[in-house]
Structure 1
Amino acid sequence: MQKLLKGWVLLTALVSSQLMAATVFDVEVVIVARQDASNETWPPRPLPDGKTNPLLIDAINAQCPPPCAAVPQTIVGSAPDATDDSQLPRLLRPDELKLNDAASRLTGLPGGRVLLHTGWRLAPKQPRYATPMAVEAGRDLGSYVLQPVAENTAVDVSAAPAEPQTGEAPVDATVMPAMVPELAGQIQVALDHYLLVDMALDLKTVQGDGQPLLVKTLRQKRRLKSGEWHYFDNPAMGVLMQIRPVR
């Protein structure tokens, strides 16, 4: 038993030392919505409160300036020099994405619909110092609400305001909210002997006129092995992730 325990300790130390030797990683994620046939209720759960990295959000706004009816499925960067990683994190370029075939297969799930396929290169820090990546994806549900929406709370749903009739005062555009993305949240990747992922995502769905938007949450923390495929899911969505060592 002592020999087995000693061998396990040595193996764990070897794996940890090899992992710590890599200081730069590529994080690639595919987020897919799926048909939820359950009757499970989803009470609101606040997203973690704190600073997030807006790199992905800025790229979305650049590729699809507001008002944007739907976030493009694939968000990538355009770093001209693959060896220039002086400023990290940066978004992966199209040629650096490796999960294209897997993303296509995920659409085969019942009601499967890819919300976002993206990735970023980073030098992960310890959990207490790691800044989560802010994530948005999917359609703009802002037309279903008449007041600005606070994240993680149910909101009243109604039809988008109709065009004013002759003689009526025009609708005040200032009451329309900013974009309410179908998916919002954050993903933190940290490194402390092992790669650690802390994921907090909210998926909003429209139930019908006069009903609140239903918020379905995915909250998972997991220790990962680099290079392997990892899948996070709940009845409403799934996230395929791979973290690859670069050097």
Structure 2
Amino acid sequence: MDQSRCPSHRCIVVVLALLLGALATPGLAQNTYAVEVVIFRHWEAPDNDAEFWPHQPPPISRSATQRLVTLGPAASGADAPGFNRLPATKLQLAGIHQRLARSNDYRVLLHVGWRQPGLKPNNAAAVVLPLNWFPPAQLTAGAGASQNPFESLPQGTRLWGTLRLLQRRYLHFQVDLRYRRDGARAGDAATVYPMTQSRRMRVGEIHYLDHPVLGILVQVRQLN
């Protein structure tokens, strides 16, 4: 065996091993996604067929939260920083929104889209509703640590909570929302409907999250 050729041969093996290891390591290339959501109200069953709702709905789960940034059209491409709100021209569910709005059976509460990186559960932040509000900083352990940041919502808020896209082996979309019915007073907990769900997403497909009072349509599109 020609010993003079061994060092270079070992170098080739090391380089190939490093390349294969890089290809096999998940998470090195971070995907970027466009998330589009339509939230609407549909009318619940009356009287004896109505759903039972807890008098005190549970508080919104605590998680890292993210405010959407509104960028100009020139800065909203695939290389724009996340999280940022998509302009109306980039929304693809406008036709569905219009059909829901024309129907007497539904009331559209929110139609929004944003761009964000695909993040693992430990790093995935939740988009906060309402969009023009942000909860106060999470309290540290001690007196008052159990305070719910959503208790400081603006007067008259009807829909609030969090929307969260995270990436494990598959994409998952999580909602933790509260909706206050028409004519309800701010302190009347019995008229607040909770909606907490998690759904595995397929890129490009429109998914429907069902609820006795609320409906949510979600589409996740990969940008890179």
Q: Does 1:104 find its partner at 2:104? A: no
Q: CA 1:206 to 1:125, structure 2 compared with 1: closer, same or farther past 3 Å?
A: same
Q: Does 1:42 find its partner at 2:53? A: yes
- Distance in 2 (alpha carbons) for counterparts of 1:117 and 1:20: 32
5 Å-filtered alignment, 1:50-65, equals 50-55=63-68
Tell me how large the CA RMSD over aligned residues is: 3.0
5 Å-filtered alignment, 1:1-247, equals 23-38=31-46, 39-43=50-54, 44-55=57-68, 77-83=71-77, 85-107=79-101, 111-136=105-130, 178-206=154-182, 212-213=188-189, 214-247=191-224
The letter for the 1-side match of 2:45 is A
Q: CA 1:219 to 1:24, structure 2 compared with 1: closer, same or farther past 3 Å?
A: same
For 1:165, the equivalent position in structure 2 comes to none
Q: Could you state the TM-score of these two structures normalised by the residue count of structure 1?
A: 0.62
Residue deviations 1:120-149, cap 9 Å, x none?
Answer: 011110011100110227xxxxxxxxxxxx
**Shift in Å at residue 198 of structure 1?**
1.2
Q: CA 1:231 to 1:21, structure 2 compared with 1: closer, same or farther past 3 Å?
A: farther
Q: CA 1:94 to 1:208, structure 2 compared with 1: closer, same or farther past 3 Å?
A: closer
- Distance in 2 (alpha carbons) for counterparts of 1:216 and 1:178: 18
- Distance in 2 (alpha carbons) for counterparts of 1:78 and 1:115: 24
The letter for the 2-side match of 1:184 is W
Q: How high is the sequence identity, in percent, across the aligned residues? A: 28
- The answer (yes or no) to whether the contact 1:20–1:193 under 8 Å persists in 2 is no
Q: Could you state the TM-score of these two structures normalised by the residue count of structure 2?
A: 0.68
Residue deviations 1:17-40, cap 9 Å, x none?
Answer: 9x9977111000001011112422
The letter for the 1-side match of 2:41 is A
- Distance in 2 (alpha carbons) for counterparts of 1:237 and 1:110: 15
- SS of equivalent to 1:80: helix
- The answer (yes or no) to whether the contact 1:26–1:245 under 8 Å persists in 2 is yes
Q: Which runs of 4+ in 1 moved over 6 A?
A: 19-22, 150-153
- Distance in 1 (alpha carbons) for counterparts of 2:182 and 2:176: 20
Gaps of 5+ in 2: 1-24, 132-147
- SS of equivalent to 2:65: coil
Gaps of 5+ in 1: 1-16, 60-76, 138-149, 154-176
- Distance in 1 (alpha carbons) for counterparts of 2:95 and 2:29: 30
Q: CA 1:24 to 1:36, structure 2 compared with 1: closer, same or farther past 3 Å?
A: same
